[in-house]
Chains A and B, each alone.
Chain A
């Protein structure tokens, strides 16, 4: 999907770093992608692959976590988020782009009531009075299916369960009808039944409001149930970017294949063992040469050690991008795919 007039977010060559004792960590290493309005993009990858850093960079919040954006552009609605003033950014944050955090236990201030925190956000962006903001908060809690919303507003975070708190976070994130919602591991800290309820809720409310969503997760089940398109991140780079169907049915990067192979399934053919990806991700504080996945890759070739593959369209599909010499050059990738014994998500259409 190229940038056109419905493009909401256009990230170009984004490069962000964190300082560390061992030197600078390249958390986000020259990534580019676009999103259309209303689209749901999943960013998947293991811990430390740069998913959250990407989200914070888009929000212009890297400096709040000691990180720094080195270069690149984040065009949101044709404005470069990296060139806006702090005041302009503040007007966008929480209103046009909002974010749901991983842990609902710690993302709410323990000493302020739910109502206080909800109305605070509403009143930071909408010019409305206290009572009106309170009514809006009641409405928001009703939208996220919290029973007895009026009395919940007086409650403090510790009086609510994890699932309820995450609903409050969703209500807060959607309070000003954002165009883009970033859900950073929004279901990870919840128990499994609550996860699926929250996921359902997210899908419903964002579909109703046509809100574009970036779902950051390491859970392929979440990806299958909510995403239109998927970006697979590895070592700070996007290694594969395609619609959700292609990712599940026709993965081109061996890392994606590995990720899919590590999902336990109860309905497919039974495998003896879950397939794990051997080895560990490379250190991001040392300069690398060649493909960062090479040491763990079953398809590694000589050229992988010398030159880093670029994220390019795979044969026969212009919207399916992968950065792998093997999938770009021959049929070996197809061989791996069948060896992984993978089936895609059944039942859900992956159109975008």
Chain B
């Protein structure tokens, strides 16, 4: 078990290194001269001497390889650098934004798993019936509605027409628990919709396959209650592959978070990512990519370990 985690951690570090290299090179290639922007863009009156001085101050006039090694060195000591634009360290800027994104993502994935399973299993059990038609339609709709469109619709209906929920913004849970949850409802629905649809379709077809297995017929032949057959024998074998699919989709969640946070003007990692790209704030951008990569890799590792807990066949010794 420890050996397995050790091996996983080694590849973890390797992936992290490659990602850091790619993000570094990409930012430099895409934005060859960020200082112009920092000093006010094309229309700024900064002289070339000023530009050169700033470039030198930020270390941007050094060869790329030197810049990368210096950056990597400080990252390894825990220093992600300072933002070009804000007077704060990158780590502080990211840490301020993490809780909101973390909360939305966890709630959205949890909601998608529960909702998707319920819809999918209900459809599989009533295959070909009215329930199946309803749940299948729901999941296809949830899967196909673009999240920016869904978000705007939800704001129109629940916030503007009915006035039940806030249109956006974020209140930390510690300050106002109820207000926090109220502000989370619409973003979570928006972010999870596609996953609800996807997980529902996936678990429906999985459950149908599982229900056709010999051990299900055998359980019925042993006089086990149908409810127990479904829960003990069916669901457990459905959860396993679903878990893998969830893990794969966690990475894609970041993209959804960007859109959702923008629509609901939530100060999260997604909006920070966008603003750092638009303002060519290299240190923030690179730091964010690293942090996001660490999160995704960690979640995948946790899921693989969980898998071993549920499925004895992959239990590592």
Contacts and interface: CB of A to CB of B under 8 A. Distances in A.
Contacts of A172: 222
Interface string B274-304: 0000000000000000000000000000000
Contacts of B222: 93-94, 98, 120-121, 124, 172
A335 interface: no
A318 interface: no
A111 B221 contact: no
A108 B233 CA distance: 10
A218 interface: no
A106 B213 CA distance: 7
Given A110-B313, A111-B240, A112-B232, A124 B223 contact: yes
A42 B184 CA distance: 66
B310 interface: yes
A158 interface: yes
A131 interface: no
Interface in B183-223: 213-223
Residue among B218, B225, B226 facing the most chain A CB atoms (10 A cut-off): B218
A95 B310 CA distance: 30
Residue among A65, A95, A110, A125 facing the most chain B CB atoms (10 A cut-off): A110
Contacts, number: 79
Contacts of B223: 90-95, 121, 124-125
B237 to A, nearest CB: 6
A36 interface: no
Contacts of B217: 61, 64-65, 101
Interface in B111-161: none
Contact of B311 (A65, A86, A111, A113): A111
B312 interface: yes
Contacts of A53: none
A39 to B, nearest CB: 21
A162 B214 CA distance: 15
A116 to B, nearest CB: 9
Given A61-B217, A61-B220, A111-B240, A124 B310 contact: no
B312 A107 contact: no
A172 B223 CA distance: 12
A108 B215 contact: yes
B224 interface: yes
A103 interface: yes
Contact of A110 (B218, B219, B228, B237): B237
Contact of B218 (A92, A101, A125, A156): A101
B237 A93 contact: no
Instruction: Describe A's contact surface by its main secondary structure.
Output: mixed
B236 interface: yes
A112 B224 CA distance: 15
Contacts of B310: 111
A59 interface: yes
A77 B257 CA distance: 64
B211 to A, nearest CB: 9
A99 B221 contact: yes
Given A120-B232, A156-B313, A158-B313, A109 B219 contact: yes
Contacts of A113: 312
B222 to A, nearest CB: 4
Contact of A64 (B215, B220, B232, B240): B220
Nearest to B234: A109
Contacts of A94: 221-224
Interface string A67-108: 000000000000000000010001111110011010100111
A121 B223 CA distance: 7
Interface in A107-164: 107-113, 120-121, 124-125, 156, 158
Interface string B230-255: 00110011001000000000000000
A107 B224 contact: no
B224 A121 contact: yes
Interface in A13-45: none
Contacts of A108: 215, 218
Interface string A164-202: 000001001000000000000000000000000000000
Interface of A: 59, 61, 64-65, 86, 90-95, 98-99, 101, 103, 106-113, 120-121, 124-125, 156, 158, 169, 172
12 contacts: A90-B223, A92-B223, A93-B222, A94-B223, A95-B223, A99-B218, A109-B215, A109-B237, A112-B232, A120-B232, A125-B223, A158-B313
Given A101-B218, A109-B219, A111-B237, 13 more contacts: A64-B220, A93-B221, A94-B224, A95-B223, A107-B215, A109-B233, A110-B311, A110-B312, A111-B311, A112-B236, A113-B312, A120-B222, A120-B224
